[in-house]
């Protein structure tokens, strides 16, 4: 049996006549935390959305847990895949408790089980139920709302989490805090697979067990942070790493 959580084989995607992704192949193992990094328009979001079928590929195959996604019932597929985006999308008229409970309620869980799950998840994202459960989204900061988004995506206990630039709209200090939290959440929930899209090279290398660097719909390099830094394979990767080294030099100079 395959132990890959996600497997792309020669996946293609066109929008109108334009080929955005051409023959994309990669594998993500069960339990890994993968970050996807690349320039704007390189196809990161499209890649993520093809996994939960928000976007349909034009060629190739995508497998989730060893099964082609075309053969999995769409509701079943999405139930097993949590999805977090930058815009969060919490329901403004519902309390935090109700926002997190949306999917379990749809699945018909009983009230007691839902309450236990909501409390457990709020604990996990460090927003205690007693303090935050009855608040509405607008009574929370952006970073706190983003944590609710993560809790909501985890509610039905999916095996795979897709996170699309989830911390893009928060300040640098909150962002660092959220990065630490998401890393510890992944560790705590051992066995879950995370795919996390980001523009931020520091974030990608801090979070990823492996980093997938995309450029123009292709994988420029896909390896551990250490291997990429010690052995960058393409000019694009070298250029990307240079941006960091230049920043480093600037800060050293200022100190």
In this structure, what token pair is assigned to residue 236?
A: 């694009």
Q: In the complex, what is the shortest distance from the CB of residue 46 to ligand ATP, in angstroms, rounded to a whole number? A: 3
Measured from the CB atom, is 43 or 149 closer to ligand ATP?
43
Instruction: Give the binding-site size for ligand ATP (rule: CB under 6 A).
Output: 11
Single out the residue of 4, 5, 37, 43 in contact with ligand ATP (rule: CB under 6 A).
43
Backbone angles phi, psi at 252, to 5 degrees: -65, -40
Question: Which listed residue (4, 35, 46, 145) binds ligand ATP by CB under 6 A?
Answer: 46
In the complex, the smallest distance separating the C-beta of residue 63 from ligand ATP, rounded to whole angstroms, is 20
Q: Is 38 among the residues that bind ligand ATP (CB under 6 A)? A: yes
Contact with ligand ATP (CB under 6 A) among 8, 32, 33, 42: 42
Phi, psi angles (nearest 5°) of residue 140 = -120, 155
Q: Which two tokens stand for residue 120?
A: 């457990």
Per-residue binder mask for ligand ATP (CB under 6 A), 184-223, x = binder: ---------------x------------------------
Kindly tell me which of 38 and 104 has the beta carbon lying closer to ligand ATP: 38
> CB burial class (10 A; 0-12, 13-18, 19+) of residue 165?
buried
Annotate 143-191 with three-state secondary structure.
Answer: HHHHHHHHHHHHCCCCCEEEEECCCCCCCHHHHHHHHHHHHHHHHHCCC
Among 40, 71, 190, 230, binds ligand ATP (CB under 6 A): 40
Residue 104 binds ligand ATP (CB under 6 A): no
Binding ligand ATP (rule: CB under 6 A), the pick from 20, 64, 151, 160 is 20
Q: Does 53 bind ligand ATP (CB under 6 A)?
A: no
Angstrom distance (rounded) from CA 19 to CA 17: 7
- Residue 170 carries which DSSP code? S
Q: Which is nearer to ligand ATP, 45 or 174 (CB)?
A: 45
Give the nearer residue to ligand ATP in terms of CB position, either 45 or 61.
45
Q: Which of 228, 232, 219 is nearest to 10 (CA)?
A: 219
How far, CA to CA in Å, does 187 sit from each of 5, 57, 207, 209? 17, 31, 11, 11
Nearer residue to ligand ATP within complex by CB, 27 or 200: 200
- Retrieve residue 54's tokens: 């928000």
Parallel, antiparallel, or unpaired for β 193-198 and 160-164?
Answer: parallel
Q: For the CB of residue 89, give the shortest distance to ligand ATP in the complex, in Å.
A: 16
Which ranges constitute the DSSP H helices of 52-171?
Answer: 74-79, 96-106, 111-124, 129-132, 142-154
* Interface positions with ligand ATP (CB under 6 A): 15, 20, 38, 40-46, 199
């Amino acid at each position: 049996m395959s132990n890959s959580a996600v497997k792309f084989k020669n996946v293609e995607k066109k929008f109108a006549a334009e080929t955005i992704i051409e023959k994309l192949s990669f594998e993500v193992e069960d339990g890994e935390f993968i970050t996807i990094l690349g320039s704007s328009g390189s196809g990161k979001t499209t890649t993520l959305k093809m996994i939960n079928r928000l976007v349909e590929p034009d060629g190739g195959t995508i497998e989730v847990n060893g099964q082609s996604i075309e053969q999995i019932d769409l509701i079943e597929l999405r139930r097993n895949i949590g999805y977090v985006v930058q815009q969060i999308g919490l329901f403004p008229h519902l309390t935090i408790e109700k926002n997190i409970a949306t999917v379990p309620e749809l699945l018909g869980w009983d009230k007691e089980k839902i309450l236990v799950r909501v409390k457990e998840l709020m604990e996990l994202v460090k927003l205690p139920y007693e303090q935050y459960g009855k608040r509405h989204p607008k009574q929370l900061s952006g970073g706190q709302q983003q944590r609710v988004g993560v809790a909501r995506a985890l509610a039905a206990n999916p095996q795979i989490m897709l996170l699309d630039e989830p911390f893009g709209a928060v300040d640098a200090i909150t962002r660092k805090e959220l990065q630490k939290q998401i890393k510890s959440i992944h560790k705590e929930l051992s066995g879950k697979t995370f795919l996390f899209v980001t523009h931020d090279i520091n974030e990608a290398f801090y979070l990823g067990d492996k980093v997938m660097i995309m450029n123009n719909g292709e994988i420029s390099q896909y390896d551990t942070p250490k291997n990429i830094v010690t052995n960058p394979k393409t000019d694009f990767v070298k250029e990307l790493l240079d941006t960091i080294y230049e920043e480093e030099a600037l800060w050293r100079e200022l100190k």
